[in-house]
A and B are shown apart, each in its own frame.
Chain A
Amino acid sequence: MRLALTHLTKSFAHRVLDDITCDFGELRSLALIGPSGGGKSTLLRIIAGLETPDSGSVALDGEPVAFADEISLRAHRRRLGIVFQAFNLFPHLTALANITLPLEKVHGLAAAEAENIARETLHRFQLADHAHKKPAQLSGGQQQRVAIARAIAIKPRLLLFDEPTSALDPEMTAEVLEVIEELKDEGRDFLLVTHEMGFARHVADRVAFLAGGRIIEHAPAEELFAAPRSAECRAFLARILKY
């Protein structure tokens, strides 16, 4: 994917994104790290088409995202796979139906075809035995893996993970991270907001450090973690990696 941000600004009560301009160029996977409230999730949600910036623009693969036009914005979202911190599965549907619903109703697949894809995806993530279960009957790690299955089943151009392991205990975190790593190895493009520094370093081609609504620096993962250039990033990593 190619991702470019131009003068991106967003305020809620205060300024969350402060005039971000950044051309990431061609990349496979990007991790956004930084302190809480630094604007990581807001940036991801704007790229996902879930939030509209006050000003500025986002271009994905050279195409600007049309924030003003709900129909093309919806078309934009349909081509992305988004995974949330709180899983956000539909509680009234089985794991299987959670995956087939968007395939059938948004992407127009026939019921049988959608079910095939859903079963295949669940099988891949060792969830075949849980296909008929409702989210409430699944563990957090299982729910998040179903959510990832739902996101990739539509063959998105880009996967967006918004703190996918923040609501999980360590064992389940590992479960989910393994799945994301597998997707990377498969060559899928993704954008990841995370607090798992080791994982960001391991899985992302490039890492961007956000604080105070700005991208302070971005660099290939190894480089950023080995030798952060900015004082803010150094301080942040020193504080986090101390324990």
Chain B
Amino acid sequence: MISALRSAFFATDREPASLLARAASFALALGVLSLVCFGAFSALSYHWAWGPVMGYWRLFWRGWLTTIGIAALALPLSCAIGLAFALLRRSAFLPLRYVARMYVEISRGTPLLVQIYFYWYIFGQQLSRDFRFLAGALILSLFSGAYLSEIIRAGIEGIGQSQLESARAIGFTRAQTYRYVIFPQAIRQILPPFAGEFASIIKNSSLLSVLGIEEFALAAGSVSSVTLGYFESYLPVALGYLILTLPISLWTQSLEKRARFET
């Protein structure tokens, strides 16, 4: 009896759980979570009113698309910025190293909201409204680029000295060493934390609502202020972000698994 329970609910590295056991445990966890949520809401005796909120579905839809658009711009842009600053930090010219270092420390050490306001009121105000979207994506990229540059730097520095020496012995230039020796090896270390940062970029885009960019979170804010249905407005937002971030998270996990098998 005890051993049956054990095999149904416990897994170790030596004895991985069966598919059935995993499904049962998943259902159990989901059940408990639902129960807690249900209990909490019934204690609130909240009156669900989906009708008025549903009327604004177009606003949600447009906001969601805007969020996707910002993310689609910010992801490649932050990668480029991250790579540039990671390389600057390894530059032979010392002042460039310190510029990169300061950028990273300031970007990572201050709240995104503060950065959004600063960048916006210093550089962004001259721009017309149409550029808000672009400026927002750029600010987000500058913020995330700092995190990505540290991930890239760690990946580059993880390449052993003997590899660099081998590249030198063969007669590679610095650029060739990066291209053929460092990057192909570093990418495996970099990808999992990169994917995690991508999810952050998507979520952080919600803060751009303070610039009046009509993204997903701002849409929910507008709808909730009109309908007063706060849960009804923000629950779809949570779900909408999960739809974007969950695949990235799953992708990360599969990357981590593959990196482990290949070494």
Q: Which residues of A contact B (CB under 8 A)?
A: 48, 50, 74-75, 77-78, 80, 82, 84, 86, 88-93, 101-102, 105-106, 136, 150
**Chain B binding site: helix, strand, loop or mixed by DSSP?**
helix
Nearest-CB residue, chain B, relative to A160: B169
Q: Is the CB of B166 within 8 A of A90?
A: yes
Give the chain A neighbours of B165 by CB distance below 8 A. 50, 84, 88
Q: Is the CB of B171 within 8 A of A74?
A: yes
Residue of B nearest to A71 (CB): B173
Least CB distance, B128 to chain A, in whole angstroms: 47
Partner of B171, one of A78, A84, A91, A93: A78
CB neighbours of A101 from chain B (8 A): 170, 180
- What chain A residues lie within 8 Å of B168 (beta carbons)? 50, 77
B247 to chain A, nearest CB (A): 27
Residues of B in contact with A, size category? 10 to 19
Give complex CA distance A82, B173 in Å: 17
Whether B253 sits at the interface, judged by CB under 8 Å, is no
Residues A77 and B171 in contact, CB atoms below 8 Å apart: yes
| 27 interchain pairs, CB-CB under 8 A | A48-B169, A50-B168, A74-B171, A77-B168, A78-B170, A78-B171, A80-B169, A82-B169, A84-B166, A84-B169, A86-B162, A88-B162, A90-B166, A90-B180, A90-B181, A91-B185, A92-B188, A93-B184, A101-B170, A101-B180, A102-B172, A105-B180, A106-B170, A106-B171, A106-B172, A106-B176, A136-B263
- 8 nearest A-B pairs in the assembled complex, by CB-CB distance: A78-B171, A88-B166, A82-B169, A102-B170, A77-B171, A106-B171, A88-B162, A92-B184
Tell whether, in the assembled complex, residue A105 and residue B185 are in contact, meaning their CB atoms are under 8 Å apart. no
Q: What residues of chain B lie closer than 8 Å to A77, measured between beta carbons? A: 168-171
17 new A-B contacts, CB < 8 A, other than A77-B171, A89-B166, are: A50-B168, A77-B169, A77-B170, A80-B169, A82-B169, A84-B169, A88-B163, A88-B165, A90-B166, A90-B181, A92-B184, A101-B170, A102-B170, A102-B171, A105-B172, A106-B172, A106-B176
Assembled-state Cα–Cα distance A41/B169 (Å):
14
Query: Could you tell me the distance between the alpha carbons of A74 and B174 in the complex, rounded to whole angstroms?
Result: 11
Among B165, B181, B185, B188, max chain A CB count under 10 A is at B165
